Chain A
Amino acid sequence: MHIMEGFLPHPWWEIWFAIALPIVAYGVYRLSKLTKKIPEAKPLLALMGAFIFVLSALKLPSVTGSSSHPTGAGLAAVVVGPGITSVLSIIVLIFQALLLAHGGLTTLGANTFSMGIVGPFVAYAIWIAAKKVRLPTSVGIFLAAAIGDLVTYVVTSAQLALVFPTAGGFFDAFLTFGSIFAVTQVPLAIGEGLLAVVLFDFLAKYKGQLLSAMKVIKLPTPASTHKEPKQQ
């Protein structure tokens, strides 16, 4: 999903910065509010940042014969919220732009928008919806992480198609970039969803109180049958 350095001409790179930065600023506000209100949440922030760090470093092979990487941002959106996730994402993207020549400083706004904003907000919305319709927790986490990952790549495809429409127009270009990015991403998104399920299940078991204080999950009351708090 990284749009390479210099690949967004004026005025597009400025537009994406203008959209992304206020949301990152909101994330910084949420971050300071969370750490003040629930200081015990700090290790969770580190953990979510670490999950994004690992997953976005792994370039994995896909059935399309090319490779790509997951983002890890969907799980973070569920646990610490999409605003804070945008902050975690921009940190990773800056690291990759400066040290790996992967992505870029001029495309940072656009890449933050796809990976740190739309993906996480969609993941969060799916998680909330899954809770509303009482899907099992693991199913909700899987859908949130997998679809959040996929949506990020759809956004990247749209961002590139807006700037580089082909003779067939925006939609034709969107399909071209979509076939490069989004299709390759499908198995990766499934893999990311599964890993997110494992890590979240661990968190629910060992950090249930904290997740409940952060209003991520409700600890089971005798009435609800779903999650098992103290198994093993």
Chain B
Amino acid sequence: MNTKHYIIIIAVVIAIFAIPLIIFPNAPYSGADSAAEEAISGQGYTPWFTPLWEPPSGEIESLLFALQAAIGAMIIGYFVGYERGKKAKKEIKETETAQ
């Protein structure tokens, strides 16, 4: 696989998640986790333990989720860039010594 293949695959991934939004623009898209929570609460169950701390608002919650994704993406980006740079440097050296 080369970069072109990577781009095609990633475009397909984006399409997979864009298509539902286009076909069903009016669906609620609420979380499956909370749907399960509601199904259980509907049976009359009350949770016996509550989270020690909850993000005070939806904004703070999305901040923390974004932070989680950013930390992960940063590490992946660092790794990929580091390895590509290392290989490029090695190739430059090889062509220099070959000359």
B40 adjacent to A65 (CB under 8 Å): no
- Tell me how far the C-beta of B80 lies from the nearest C-beta in chain A, rounded to whole angstroms: 6
Q: How many residues of B contact A (CB 8 A)?
A: 56
B36, B48, B80 interface centre (most CB from chain A within 10 Å): B36
- With both beta carbons as reference points, the residue of chain B lying nearest to A228 in the complex is identified as B1
Q: Indicate whether A59 sits within 8 Å of B35 (C-beta atoms), given known contacts A46-B75, A50-B73, A101-B55.
A: no
Looking at the complex, which of A20-28, A30-38, A79-87, A196-204 is the stretch in contact with chain B? A196-204
Interface presence of A162 (CB below 8 A)? no
Q: Mark A125-165, 1 if CB is under 8 A from B, else 0.
A: 00000000000001000000000000000001000100010
B28 adjacent to A53 (CB under 8 Å): no
Q: How many residues of A contact B (CB 8 A)?
A: 67
A53 adjacent to B51 (CB under 8 Å): no
Q: Mark B28-55, 1 if CB is under 8 A from A, else 0.
A: 1111111111011001010111111111
Q: Which residues of A contact B87 (CB under 8 A)?
A: 206
A202 adjacent to B80 (CB under 8 Å): yes
Q: Which residues of A contact B84 (CB under 8 A)?
A: 206
Q: Which A residues, 203 to 226, have Cβ-Cβ distances below 8 Å to chain B?
A: 206-207
Interface presence of A52 (CB below 8 A)? yes
The list of the 7 closest CB pairs from A to B, nearest first, reads A6-B47, A65-B27, A53-B72, A54-B72, A50-B75, A6-B49, A57-B69
Residues of A within 8 A of B (CB): 1-7, 9-10, 43, 46-47, 49-63, 65-68, 95-102, 104-106, 138, 156, 160, 164, 166, 176-177, 180-181, 184-185, 187, 190-191, 194-195, 197-199, 201-202, 206-207, 231-232
